[in-house]
Amino acid sequence: MNAPRGKTPSQPTFRVPRFKNVNDCDRPVGLTDLLEIGSTVDLPCNIGQFVRLSSRSGSRVSRPHRAYRQVVLSMSVVMLLAAGAAAQEDKKTDDDKPADPDTGESTVEEKTLGILPNPLQKYGVKFAATYIGEAFGNATGGLKQGAIYEGRLNLAVDVDLQKLVGIDKLTFHANMFQIHGDGLSRSNLQNFFVDSGIEALPSTRLYEAYFEKQWGAKKVSLKVGQLAADSEFFNTKYTDVFTNASMGWPAITSLDLPSGGPSPPLAAMGARLLVNVTDQLSLLGGIFDGDQAGPGSGDPQQRNRYGVNFRVNDPPLLLGQIQYAWNNKKGDPNLTGQVKLGGWRHFGSFADQQLASNGVSFAAPGTSAEPLLLAGDIGGWAVFEQQIYRVPHSDDRGIGVFARAAGAPADRNLIDLYADAGLEFIGLRDDRPDDKFGIAAGYAHVSKRAQALDADYRTLVNPSWPIRSFEGLLTAVYQYQIRDGWTVQPNFQYIVHPGGGATLPVGPLAGKILKNASVFGLRTTLKF
């Protein structure tokens, strides 16, 4: 789940010379480049692309790149030293299984329709297939009103190499997407809180592909390969019912990090280390290639069209998180909860949100064609989740609340402050144990430096130029299970100040006021 990444062929494009990538000429050529030789891609007038395309990732083997490789090796050494760790007691929920990006459930143990054959499961090979189809429409607000249909087929394979070839506690997971249809946020809304977690440009692409090694009965684990971060970092289990993308991978990371960060539909090469220090305390760290699409103009999904660029030489992205849970053992009569504190550090160069390389505003007549580049980016987050009611004789059914908050520097990020919160009601009725209902609200603040650029346009270009402020989200979703493996989700979203209240200050639609939008949707999910 993620914020806007793409455009449709019908979407207007424009050229912005100041955002030409400064390191594109010496980057390695990937498979996607070979497939796309001779093509050109213009910058889409899509909210969020301004900040993503202004994030610079050099391709030379810099000190951060060398550190990237050294950290991967160090993580492997730590794993070997932890091989004798003690076994971990059973938890109420198992967060170590590969997560289905469509539902958040385990791809190994989730309930299905039972249609897909799995003749090799006894040998440790399991296949999974999930299809999501949904219709969304905005009756009011946004850039224009209308409705769309979009869908995504997710094909996954999980291999237990201990069963297959006798390698102890080593597994392999991979999945691919077939994405089709339009996207309401990129076509109609131009907003930060993308209405759907599956919204992306139509394509067939590889998503994740990684090995995971565990030691000490899940006490320690290491993942290496092409990874997503949204299922483990900055997440909460009480957002799985929501369709809005930011309820998964929040808008602040999706908009501030190059190519949206390691999240659907673009995973990144890297390594993730999890250490369960105790049954309650865990440490989570990851190092990823810092721009999985690679530098260049245009939409990141077009630069990494098939998910097989496998880039490893961009300035790295580091993610870290410490998490503490309570009452999380099976059979514990008390209500479970968890707190997570984490953050990111990116070693690339990022464009100032207001100033050009000659130190004047982009709105000024004498502005440079290149942005002022700033070294690196950082950000931090906090997550709180708590079960406030539990159905008797059940671990997971009940009511849970969550809250998340994050911040980042205002000079190099479009979003400098983010928060969301909500409640999820899970299986409250004994005759509907798998139904869910959720309500949530979100807030994304446009950074002061980006607002200063709007103010410059008001002063120097047009006295009625709008100044972006924040975007808000109110959403409600009900998930009705028709049978095992088949659910439908009617949902409503109210978007306050889409895009902060206006379009980007560049392009053919620059400075257009965007009114509050009412979005209605219906999603169906089939697990075969």
- pTM for this entry: 0.81
The 3 state secondary structure assigned to 144-196 is CCEEEEEEEEEEEEEEEHHHHHCCCCEEEEEEEEEEEECCHHHHHHCCCCCCC
**Rounded-to-integer distance, Cα 172 and Cα 364, Å:** 53
Dihedral over Cα of 163, 166, 169, 172: its sign: negative
**Rounded-to-integer distance, Cα 527 and Cα 116, Å:** 9
What pLDDT is stored for residue 99 in this prediction?
62
Considering the segment(s) 13-99+113-527 as one domain, its CATH architecture is: Beta Barrel (2.40)
Buried b (16+ CB within 10 A) or exposed e, 421-442: ebebbbbeeeeeeebbbbbbeb
- Both tokens of 233, joined, read 């970092």
**Rounded-to-integer distance, Cα 447 and Cα 414, Å:** 5
pLDDT tens digits, 250-271: 999 999 999 999 999 999 999 9
Domain ranges of the chain: 13-99+113-527
CB contact at 8 A, 247 and 239: yes
**CB-count burial class (<10 Å; 0-12, 13-18, 19+) for 77:** exposed
Q: Within 10 A of 63 (CB to CB), how many other CB atoms are there?
A: 9
DSSP β-ladder status, 281-288 and 268-276: antiparallel
pLDDT tens digits, 375-399: 999 999 999 999 999 999 898 999 9
Largest pairwise CA distance in the chain: 71
Dihedral over Cα of 36, 42, 43, 44: its sign: negative
- Both tokens of 508, joined, read 């053919």
CB contact at 8 A, 177 and 188: no
- Both tokens of 254, joined, read 């999706």
Indicate the SS3 state at residue 375: strand
Strand partners, 234: none
Specify the amino acid at residue 390. R
CB contact at 8 A, 353 and 411: yes
DSSP 321-368: EEEEEES-BTT--SPPEEEEEEEEEEEEEEEEEEEETTSSBTTSTT--
CB contact at 8 A, 438 and 241: yes
**Rounded-to-integer distance, Cα 171 and Cα 161, Å:** 5
| Angle in degrees, CA 521, 141, 146, rounded to 5 | 50
What pLDDT is stored for residue 367 in this prediction?
87
The alpha carbon torsion through 129, 131, 132, 135 (nearest 10 deg) reads: 170
- What H or E segment, with its residue span, contains residue 272? strand 268-276
CB contact at 8 A, 477 and 107: no
Per-residue confidence in pLDDT tens, the chain, 528 aa: 444 444 333 333 333 333 333 333 333 333 333 333 333 333 333 333 333 333 444 434 445 445 444 544 444 444 333 333 333 445 555 455 566 665 555 556 678 999 999 999 999 999 999 999 999 999 999 999 999 999 999 999 999 999 999 999 999 999 999 999 999 999 999 999 999 999 999 999 999 999 999 998 779 999 999 999 999 999 999 999 999 999 999 999 999 999 999 999 999 999 999 999 999 999 999 999 999 999 888 899 999 999 999 999 999 999 999 999 999 988 888 999 999 999 999 999 999 999 999 999 999 998 888 999 999 999 999 999 999 999 998 989 999 999 999 999 999 999 999 999 999 999 999 999 999 999 999 999 999 999 999 999 999 999 999 999 999 999 999 999 999 999 999 999 999 999 999 998 887 788 899 999 999 999 999 999
Backbone angles phi, psi at 119, to 5 degrees: -70, -20
